[in-house]
Amino acid sequence: MANDRIGWAVDVLSPGASERILEVGCGHGVAVTMVCDRLIDGRVVAVDRSATMIAAAKRRNARHLAAGRAEFHTAELASADFSEARFDKAFALRVGPFARGDPARELMVLARHLSPAGRLYLFHDEPSRSADDVARRLKAGVRGNAWTVEAVLKKRLDGCNVACVIALPPKPNATADEPKR
Ligand SMILES: C[S@@+](CC[C@H](N)C(=O)[O-])C[C@H]1O[C@@H](n2cnc3c(N)ncnc32)[C@H](O)[C@@H]1O
């Protein structure tokens, strides 16, 4: 397992060679590079609300972009249009809306575009918070929207207390009021 924050996240994500993967809030595109390096005929779609970050991520991943393995869009997740795309995995690293407030709109988009066996991987850390505290917030965000938490991982990396929550979208017709597992 890698012992840097992004390398560890990509190890946990464990992209399959043919998987379709969505990254939310890709920043400079460091994780996209690591994921693409593991793909054969799979594909990564990355979004970030910052056009500056998307430009930097495209520069960094020019080779993968040219090979058709990576695609980048400037968009807020909540209003992103992925057309008919279905993803095997979606992930986000240090993306605020999942750790603060209610990510209802973001999760609704993800639920629509994850394949039936799809999983969401949320990684987050904050300097003044323990991994337990960060994990609690991530779990509250997904469970409050009827997602199921499948696993919680915690690790100290690069001086950060990183938490990862792996979650499954609600079954069609489930509501946020159903009992939490
Ligand atoms: C703290 S940076 C993390 C960048 C990268 N994931 C990493 O871990 O190094 C958060 C990134 O998420 C993007 N972001 C935040 N909220 C977003 C949203 N709702 N939709 C799309 N991108 C978002 C920001 O523009 C920023 O580039």
Query: Looking at residue 124, what is its pLDDT?
Result: 98
What distance in Å separates the CA atoms of residue 45 and residue 32, rounded to the nearest whole number? 9
The total number of residues written for the chain in this structure? 181
Can you give the pTM of this predicted structure?
0.95
At 56, which amino acid appears?
Answer: A
Pocket test for ligand 1, best of 23, 32, 48 (most atoms within 8 A of CB): 48
pLDDT at 177 over 70: no
Percent of the chain with pLDDT over 70: 95
Query: Looking at residue 83, what is its pLDDT?
Result: 95
Residue 139 Cα to ligand 1 midpoint, Å, equals 19
Closest CA to 87 of 13, 171, 14, 21: 21
User: Residue 2: which pLDDT band, with cuts at 50, 70 and 90?
Assistant: confident
User: Residue 178: which pLDDT band, with cuts at 50, 70 and 90?
Assistant: low
Average pLDDT over residues 94-100: 96
Average pLDDT over residues 89-102: 96
Query: Looking at residue 181, what is its pLDDT?
Result: 47
Domains annotated on the chain, with CATH? 2-168 (3.40.50.150)
pLDDT tens digits for 6-31? 999 999 999 999 999 999 999 999 99
pLDDT at 176 over 90: no
Nearest atom in ligand 1 to the alpha carbon of residue 48 is 22
Nearest atom in ligand 1 to the alpha carbon of residue 106 is 19
Q: Which residues have C-beta within 8 Å of that of residue 74, sequence separation ≥ 6? A: 47, 48, 49, 50, 51, 54
Query: Looking at residue 175, what is its pLDDT?
Result: 56
**Cβ < 6 A, ligand 1 pocket:** 24-27, 47-50, 53, 76-77, 93-97
Average pLDDT over residues 112-122: 97
User: Residue 59: which pLDDT band, with cuts at 50, 70 and 90?
Assistant: very high
Query: Looking at residue 1, what is its pLDDT?
Result: 79
Average pLDDT over residues 106-115: 98
pLDDT at 87 over 70: yes
